[in-house]
């Protein structure tokens, strides 16, 4: 690590979510306080307790930026989401590929292809038709390498799978690579598509809201909704961005990561590790809690998560807690799992650019843990610095802090 | 590598048995292990797939509550980690006197429980086991490791091809260099299931699917062996596997003589091995290929190679060791130790 770490900025961002296919559509949706849940049509949910989720509107045919029909056809749904968001990020950054590393977070990866392989293998037939292709294209690293080829990116790749923190970790890794001088710029992000196995998994855990309407931070919240999508950013040294006169969306000010060893699927109730990552990110950024204008919370809407995160925010902010504006955008698009941390980072960037804040929808009665300013309607507000939390199964916790350029 | 980062602990679980000693005994014998047949009824017939399994040894299994419900992938990893850390470090971690990170690399992960859980979902999702699903998540094994050793330091799981262990080492070196951890475990583990074993056979019937785990402990230390060179892996997005293998050889700068040991990633499948065979065709130093003996354990194969190289260096067979792997669909990578 150089004695004087380099300033790191975001020069491009891309997003596809149930709210829309790009940055503009997502801004419009979140600013309007829209909700984006619909009946699941990708697989059979007739025997599940829950039948809705946030489905992205993914084009059927290959996009018109040079992806061949064959390459598109071999990509799983998640990779297609990732490709669209990554392409938007590169385009916004004024880049067309190059020798940059690619750090990507995912949790379910190409699970639907694995499911198809499994079902074919169970058939009482000796035919192996298409099974090699399914085995090959099921693998996340194969899919991401194919995506890199389509984007013209030739640097090394890392695929992080830290459950629901994966996307935030990917951006955090990229931040460190650039900050330390190991890379000039990195394409980083996260993605996940809906899959039957994962949907059923959350349903068996009774983690899904039976109504299909997640109510993060509501006193009577009863679970999360799943969603799908991808968020990507170009993380670049400020020096490089300035040298090529690239547009700068924000600065990356801090990142914290730690492991909650309390339980495989439940957070420490007092939010000890969440507190640790928020403190670490603030320390790196040289910021006090009262200097954070907005928190895009992990806010799943499950009883245990929201209490733990609320406690962590209270402990972190101390006397300033009532001034901290907090919302969960999972209330509008669902939990995007491995993509969540990256998509929510892009939403945080939108707030910095547009000076508005998205809402926690569907809250009828705020949980007593909400001593912070829970945003229940989208609002215009000065936003100079924002923090985003991501906490995953297995105890992977991550916090990122972004600021308007030149804020420090 | 600017900083003196050394490998000061190793652990292994392989088809040769539990522990590094079993691994080295099999590798030194130099004979491919004998596979067993994994049988799966399908309709009126039975699918038989040769596999190399880790021999059962309940006494070798670490005792930790969270491991009771896990599948072999976590148990193998836990045993390798306990061996790599040793009792002194474990005590220091539990006393908060040592910050130890975990980097876990894998290709398949917990395929046993994924198989079982999805089978239950297709049958009747309303009675599918909620115990199985969390274990199917890729980072479940690494989470158990941090919990077992009592470490809240960073813990990352990387999905990779069979050359990904070097990426894990690179990440660990970053954490150490930044001072985020005092030391870092780099672990890889895989388990056998008919899903993955038959999957591997779709590539080539010459492959023998294997399972096992390996762990190394990295820390700042002026001891032997040290990481001398750990270049960024070469992505296949840049060119062919052959080109990547050749570039990897070039950037490792390993001196080609009798005191440098080459531990390569060749499997015995000529078509798969060709890029690596060609890239290192002129090698005159000592050389061995653990996968030809232990089978193809996907993500953990390169980890077992690294452990084998470290132990060989410590036994004095060479002054330096270069370890390489050309993965199937992501990258070529390697490391130079000495």
What does the block give as tokens for A108?
Answer: 């379910």
The tens digit of pLDDT for each residue in A348-374 reads 999 999 999 999 999 999 999 999 999
Q: Which of residues 148 through 177 in chain B touch A, CB cutoff 8 A?
A: 150-161, 164, 167, 171, 174, 177
Do A352 and A386 touch, CB atoms closer than 8 A?
yes
What does the block give as tokens for A388?
Answer: 């985003």
Amino acid B247: pLDDT: 98
Q: What average pLDDT score do residues A293-306 get? A: 97
What does the block give as tokens for B242?
Answer: 């052959």
Cα–Cα distances (Å) from A81 to A186, A232, A302, A313, in that order, read 19, 10, 26, 32
In chain A, the number of structural domains is 1
C-alpha A159/C-alpha A86 separation (Å) is 14
DSSP state of A245: T
A1 falls within a domain: no
Do A221 and A365 touch, CB atoms closer than 8 A?
no
Q: Do A141 and B160 touch (CB under 8 A)?
A: yes
Is the model's pLDDT at A340 over the cut of 60?
yes
Of A282, A335, A370, A386, which one is the catalytic site residue?
A335
A342 falls within a domain: yes
Is the model's pLDDT at A2 over the cut of 60?
no
3-class SS at A169?
helix
User: The domain spanning residue A31 has which CATH number?
Assistant: 3.40.47.10
Residue A164 has phi, psi (to 5 degrees) of -75, -5
A3 falls within a domain: no
Higher pLDDT, B1 or A192: A192
Cβ atoms within 10 Å, residue B95: 9
- Calculate how close chain A gets to B290, using CA atoms only, in Å: 23
Question: Which residues fall within 8 angstroms of residue A213, CB to CB, at 6 or more apart?
Answer: A35, A37, A225, A362
**Chain B residues whose beta carbon lies within 8 Å of the beta carbon of residue A169:** 156
Q: Do A395 and B156 touch (CB under 8 A)?
A: no
Q: How big is chain A by its Cα radius of gyration, in Å?
A: 20
DSSP state of B59: G
The tens digit of pLDDT for each residue in A66-94 reads 899 999 999 999 999 999 999 999 999 99
C-alpha B177/C-alpha A244 separation (Å) is 30
Please give the angle made by the CA atoms of A6, A8 and A14, to the nearest 5 degrees.
160
Of A176, A298, A370, A386, which one is the catalytic site residue?
A298
Total residues belonging to chain B: 338
Active site annotation includes A173: no
The alpha carbon dihedral of B74, B75, B77, B82 has a sign of positive
Do A209 and A361 touch, CB atoms closer than 8 A?
no
Q: What average pLDDT score do residues A209-225 get? A: 97
Do B295 and B23 touch, CB atoms closer than 8 A?
no
B117 in reach of chain A (CB within 8 A): yes
The alpha carbon dihedral of A92, A104, B173, A388 has a sign of positive
C-alpha B50/C-alpha B52 separation (Å) is 7
Report CA A377 to chain centroid distance, whole Å.
Answer: 22
C-alpha A135/C-alpha A122 separation (Å) is 14
- Calculate how close chain A gets to B153, using CA atoms only, in Å: 5
Facing A1 at nearest CB: one of B137, B153, B178 = B178
Q: Do B233 and A107 touch (CB under 8 A)?
A: no
**Chain A residues whose beta carbon lies within 8 Å of the beta carbon of residue B241:** none
Q: Do A117 and B143 touch (CB under 8 A)?
A: no
Active site annotation includes A282: no
Tell me the DSSP string of B266-298: --S-HHHHHHHHHHTTT--S-EE-HHHHH-B-G
Q: Do B137 and A139 touch (CB under 8 A)?
A: no
Cβ atoms within 10 Å, residue A406: 10
Q: Provide the residue range defining the domain that includes A234.
A: 8-403
Q: Do B153 and A158 touch (CB under 8 A)?
A: no
C-alpha B237/C-alpha B239 separation (Å) is 6
% of residues, chain A, pLDDT over 70? 99
- Calculate how close chain B gets to A46, using CA atoms only, in Å: 10
C-alpha B314/C-alpha B322 separation (Å) is 14
A377 falls within a domain: yes
C-alpha A156/C-alpha A148 separation (Å) is 10
Q: Which of residues 79 through 108 in chain A touch B, CB cutoff 8 A?
A: 101, 106-107
A408 falls within a domain: no
Q: Which of residues 178 through 197 in chain B touch A, CB cutoff 8 A?
A: 178-179, 195
The tens digit of pLDDT for each residue in A110-133 reads 999 999 999 999 997 777 889 999
C-alpha B75/C-alpha B58 separation (Å) is 10
* Ranges of chain B with pLDDT below 70: none
> 3-class secondary structure for A312-347?
HHHHHHHHHHHHCEEECCHHHHCECHHHHHHHHHHH
3-class SS at A180?
coil
Cβ atoms within 10 Å, residue A211: 13
Is the model's pLDDT at A408 over the cut of 60?
no
C-alpha B234/C-alpha B279 separation (Å) is 14
The alpha carbon dihedral of B107, B109, B113, B118 has a sign of negative
| Closest chain A residue to the Cα of B45, Cα to Cα | A124
A326 falls within a domain: yes
B236 in reach of chain A (CB within 8 A): yes
A130 in reach of chain B (CB within 8 A): no
A2 falls within a domain: no
Amino acid A129: pLDDT: 83
Complex ipTM = 0.97
**Among residues B269, B200, B209, which one has the least CA distance to residue B54?**
B209
β A379-380/A356-357 pair status: antiparallel
What does the block give as tokens for A49?
Answer: 């307790």
**Chain A residues whose beta carbon lies within 8 Å of the beta carbon of residue B157:** 160-162
Active site annotation includes A335: yes
3-class SS at B238?
coil
Q: What confidence category does residue A321 fall into, taking pLDDT thresholds of 50, 70 and 90?
A: very high
Q: Which of residues 252 through 311 in chain A touch B, CB cutoff 8 A?
A: 257-261, 264-265, 273, 276
**Chain B residues whose beta carbon lies within 8 Å of the beta carbon of residue A187:** none
- Domains of chain B, earliest start first: 5-220 (3.40.47.10), 227-337 (3.40.47.10)
Amino acid A64: pLDDT: 87
Q: Do A47 and B124 touch (CB under 8 A)?
A: yes
Q: Where are the alpha helices (DSSP H) in A123-205?
A: 131-138, 140-151, 166-179, 196-204
Residue position matching structure tokens 């990440």: B171
Amino acid A3: pLDDT: 60
Is the model's pLDDT at A192 over the cut of 60?
yes
The tens digit of pLDDT for each residue in B40-57 reads 999 889 999 999 999 999
A91 falls within a domain: yes
**Among residues B246, A142, B277, which one has the least CA distance to residue B291?**
B277
Question: Which residues fall within 8 angstroms of residue B220, CB to CB, at 6 or more apart?
Answer: B3, B4, B5, B6, B176
């Amino acid at each position: 690590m150089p004695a004087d770490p380099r300033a790191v900025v975001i020069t491009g961002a891309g997003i596809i979510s149930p709210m829309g296919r790009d940055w503009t559509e997502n801004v419009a949706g979140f600013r309007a306080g829209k909700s984006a849940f619909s009946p699941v049509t990708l697989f059979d949910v007739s025997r599940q307790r829950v039948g809705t989720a946030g489905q992205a509107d993914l084009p059927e045919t290959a996009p018109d930026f040079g992806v061949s029909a064959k390459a598109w056809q071999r990509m799983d749904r998640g990779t297609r989401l990732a490709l669209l968001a990554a392409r938007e990020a590169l385009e916004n950054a004024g880049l067309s590929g190059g020798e940059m590393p690619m750090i990507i977070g995912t949790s379910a990866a190409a699970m639907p292809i694995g499911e198809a392989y499994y079902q074919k293998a169970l058939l009482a037939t000796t035919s192996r038709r298409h099974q090699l292709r399914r085995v090959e294209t099921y693998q996340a690293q194969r899919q991401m390498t194919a995506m890199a080829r389509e984007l013209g990116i030739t640097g090394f790749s890392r695929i992080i799978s830290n459950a629901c923190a994966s996307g935030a970790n990917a951006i955090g890794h990229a931040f460190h690579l650039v900050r330390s001088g190991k890379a000039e710029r990195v394409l980083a992000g996260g993605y996940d598509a809906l899959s039957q196995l994962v949907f059923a998994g959350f349903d068996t855990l009774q983690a899904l809201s039976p109504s299909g309407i997640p109510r993060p931070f509501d006193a009577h919240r009863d679970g999360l909704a799943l969603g799908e999508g991808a968020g990507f950013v170009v993380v670049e040294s400020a020096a490089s961005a300035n040298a090529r006169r690239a547009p700068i969306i924000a600065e990356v000010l801090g990142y914290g990561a730690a492991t909650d060893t309390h339980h495989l699927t439940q957070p420490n109730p007092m939010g000890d590790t969440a507190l640790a990552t928020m403190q670490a990110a603030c320390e790196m950024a040289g910021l006090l809690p009262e200097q954070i204008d907005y928190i895009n919370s992990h806010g799943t809407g499950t009883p245990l998560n929201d209490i733990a995160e609320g406690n962590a925010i209270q402990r972190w902010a101390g006397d300033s807690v009532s001034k901290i504006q907090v919302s969960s955008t999972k209330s509008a698009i669902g939990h995007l799992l491995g993509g969540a941390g990256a998509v929510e980072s892009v939403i945080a960037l939108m707030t910095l650019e547009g000076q508005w804040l998205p809402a926690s929808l569907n809250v009828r009665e705020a949980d007593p843990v909400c001593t912070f300013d829970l945003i229940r309607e989208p609002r215009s507000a000065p936003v100079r610095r924002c923090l985003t939390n991501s906490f995953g199964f297995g105890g992977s916790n991550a916090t990122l802090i972004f600021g308007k350029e030149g804020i420090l | 590598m600017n900083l003196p980062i050394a490998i000061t602990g190793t652990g292994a679980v392989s088809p040769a048995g539990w522990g590094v000693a079993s691994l080295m005994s099999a590798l030194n014998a130099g004979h491919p292990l004998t596979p067993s047949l994994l049988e799966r009824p399908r309709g009126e017939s039975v699918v038989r797939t040769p596999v190399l399994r880790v021999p059962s040894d309940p006494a070798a299994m670490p005792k930790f509550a969270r491991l009771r419900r896990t599948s072999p992938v976590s148990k193998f990893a836990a045993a390798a980690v306990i061996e790599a850390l040793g009792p002194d470090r474990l005590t220091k971690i539990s006393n908060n006197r040592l910050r130890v990170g975990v980097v876990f690399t894998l290709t398949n992960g917990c395929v046993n429980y994924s198989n079982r859980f999805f089978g239950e979902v297709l049958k009747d999702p309303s009675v599918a086991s909620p115990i199985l699903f969390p274990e199917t998540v890729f980072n479940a094994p690494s989470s158990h490791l941090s919990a077992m050793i009592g470490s809240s330091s960073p813990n990352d799981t990387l999905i990779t091809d069979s050359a990904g262990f070097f990426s894990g080492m690179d990440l660990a070196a970053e954490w150490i260099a930044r001072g985020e951890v005092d030391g870092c475990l780099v672990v890889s583990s895989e388990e056998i299931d008919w899903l993955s074993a038959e999957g591997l056979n779709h590539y080539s019937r010459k492959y023998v699917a294997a399972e096992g785990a390996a762990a190394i402990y990295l820390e700042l230390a002026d001891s032997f062996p040290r990481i001398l060179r750990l270049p960024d892996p070469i992505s296949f997005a840049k060119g062919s596997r052959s080109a990547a293998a050749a570039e990897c050889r070039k950037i490792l700068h390993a001196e080609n003589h009798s005191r440098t040991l080459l531990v390569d990633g060749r499997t015995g499948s000529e078509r798969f091995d060709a890029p690596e065979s060609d890239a290192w065709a002129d090698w005159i130093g000592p050389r061995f290929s653990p996968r030809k003996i232990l089978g193809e354990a996907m993500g953990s194969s390169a980890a077992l190679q690294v452990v084998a190289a470290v132990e060989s260096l410590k036994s004095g067979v060479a002054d330096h060791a270069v370890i390489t792997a050309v993965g199937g669909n992501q990258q070529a990578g390697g490391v130079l130790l000495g």
